[in-house]
Structure 1
């Protein structure tokens, strides 16, 4: 299983990395990995308790990180909250270098079963929230003429899946938003890429498996049979990819969508 590579040590040295949805399984892995690679990390989440726990775990690993990580309660559906959060970060560290839009709302269902309110809330978090985060961070990127934006798509935005209409629609929108942002922001040396994970072992997946009354081993065997690598992914594998996109290791990459799905969309 993937681990943090020592060869990548400090590739985010002193970069300010702002992560939304950082209290979740993948978001927390991104926060911890960014800190290990030298970043000053903003751990934001709609659930402040979850964000605090991530910050606490980073500091437990290294006490010197105590002033290099910041926990923020942030509802990305609220533009005023976004504006205030960005202000807090800039007042503390002077700027922002990397934005990771990882907040997610997992609204699933058949078209006739999803309410108008559910559509609105899913859109506010999964699409509008991403756009508003970029809106309020980009002025700092333009001022310093550099920046990296990483947006979370999904294989659900690439293929059709039964009962996934709202979620797949939102993720398809994120992929298109990413391409448009790459075009508009490229002249300012601002890169925008997306990551599309496949099945990753996170709390929502674990809960979904439990609700089906099957074991995780049975689930992995079933999913694995449909893809090249014959297993599901780990949050750390996605975090490593995000760190690569956030760093200066890929300065010529923008407008790209990187699938990390074990080959699910290949088969």
Structure 2
């Protein structure tokens, strides 16, 4: 199994500061990928909104960053946010605008995971996953796009999945929502392009996170066995890191990437090529 390159296992603090003075709003920022995105954006000089339905995990993300760099205290704020509740979204956006005047970048990352064969998934489970994973993304864009239109610039980054592209056993609800995100991304790019607002999607593959351990337990195998099994499915013969997703997010958010919009980028170690 291939080892993780040194540069892939670190946040991107050695890069040029690509997001200086930009305001970045990250949903689901208490989770493994979301928190790494938030911290990496802060390393690049952004003011970062760490939003999560679980305020404690949002606070933990901010505290970790401040402990590593006390200068980031005024560059990060944590917010309790339910992306299915429009009033919660409006309150969060108002808090950010009151503090930092605008929002330049939206990272739609908040998601839930519901799996199963179609005959086994309840109507309630369908409603919940569509509410969070699809409607939640749309409501966030609805609230923030007017700010971007006013300043005639912005970047929306939607965290999708390889499940947007390939069929996987008993993944029907999750894959359906992730497929919908790609189409939402294309339509937003079309509608918002005239206002100099870009919208792109990132499709992660197998990423090593704390949740990987629980997934191994569910499969009744060790974490090492899970990693080895998944690694064999990748061209690079390893799992990805949260930092690699975060680094790609920074690239799409930055001024290095002005001509990319409506696109979906696979960051999957080559999984979908095999």
TM-score norm. by structure 2 comes to 0.95
Number of equivalenced pairs? 267
Report the Cα offset of residue 202 of structure 1. 1.6
Report the Cα offset of residue 211 of structure 1. 2.3
Gaps spanning 5+ residues in structure 2: where?
Answer: none
| Separation (CA, whole Å) in 2 of partners of 1:219 and 1:106 | 19
Change in Cα spacing, 1:157 to 1:132, as seen in structure 2 (3 Å) is same
The corresponding residue for 1:91 is 98
| Separation (CA, whole Å) in 2 of partners of 1:22 and 1:190 | 22
Report the Cα offset of residue 6 of structure 1. 4.7
The corresponding residue for 2:158 is 151
The corresponding residue for 1:208 is 215
The corresponding residue for 2:124 is 117
Over residues 77-125 of structure 1, what are the superposed CA-to-partner deviations in whole Å (9 max), with x where a residue is unaligned? Answer: 1111011101110010000000000001101111111111111110111
2:192 to 185, 189, 204: 185
Over residues 11-32 of structure 1, what are the superposed CA-to-partner deviations in whole Å (9 max), with x where a residue is unaligned? Answer: 1001000000000000000011
| Separation (CA, whole Å) in 2 of partners of 1:5 and 1:111 | 41
Report the Cα offset of residue 216 of structure 1. 1.9
The corresponding residue for 1:220 is 227
Gaps spanning 5+ residues in structure 1: where?
Answer: none
For the 8 Å contact 2:159–2:201, the answer to whether it is kept is yes
Report the Cα offset of residue 67 of structure 1. 1.3
Higher mean C-alpha deviation, range 221-230 or range 19-28: 221-230
Change in Cα spacing, 1:111 to 1:213, as seen in structure 2 (3 Å) is same
The corresponding residue for 1:106 is 113
The corresponding residue for 2:83 is 76
For the 8 Å contact 2:212–2:223, the answer to whether it is kept is no
TM-score norm. by structure 1 comes to 0.98
Over residues 132-168 of structure 1, what are the superposed CA-to-partner deviations in whole Å (9 max), with x where a residue is unaligned? Answer: 0000000010000000000011001101011100000
For the 8 Å contact 1:9–1:36, the answer to whether it is kept is no
| Separation (CA, whole Å) in 2 of partners of 1:194 and 1:240 | 14
